[in-house]
Amino acid sequence: MSASSIDALKSTFGESVLDTVEFRDEHTAIVEKDRALEILTHCRDELGYDYLLDISSLDHFGEEPRWEMVYELYQLGNGGYTHLRIKYKLAEDDKAPSVSKVWPTAEWHEREVYDMMGIEFDGLADHRRILMWEGFPYFPLRKDFPLAGRPSEMPDVAFSDRAPLAGGPFVTSPTSESTVHREPRSREMD
The reply to whether 137 falls in a domain is yes
Question: Can you tell me the mean pLDDT for 15-32?
Answer: 95
Residue 80 shares a structural domain with residue 138: yes
Residues 71 and 103 grouped into a single domain: yes
Rounded to whole angstroms, the Cα distance separating 157 from 145 reads 19
DSSP classification of residue 9:
H
Question: Is residue 151 in some structural domain?
Answer: no
DSSP designation for 63: S
Tell whether 65 is covered by a domain.
yes
CATH number, domain with residue 115: 3.30.460.80
- H helices of 14-164, in order, are 36-45, 106-117
Determine the pLDDT at residue 145: 82
Query: Residue 45 is part of which domain span?
Result: 2-145
68 lies in a domain? Answer: yes
Dihedral sign of CA atoms 111, 115, 119, 120 in order: positive
pLDDT category of residue 154 using cuts at 50, 70 and 90: low
What CA–CA distance (Å, rounded) separates 92 from 67?
A: 6
Q: What is the pTM of this model?
A: 0.79
Residue 167 DSSP one-character state? T
Q: Are residues 103 and 190 in the same domain?
A: no
Contact 68, 56 (CB under 8 A): no
Question: How many domains is the chain built from?
Answer: 2
- The answer to whether the Cα torsion of 125, 131, 133, 137 is positive or negative is negative
Say yes or no: 43 and 94 in one domain.
Answer: yes
Band the pLDDT of 79: cuts 50, 70, 90. confident
Do both 38 and 110 map to the same domain?
yes
In a shared domain, residues 126 and 180:
no
Residues 105 and 166 in one domain: no
Is 115 found in the same domain as 56? yes
Task: Grade residue 161 by pLDDT with cuts at 50, 70 and 90.
Answer: low
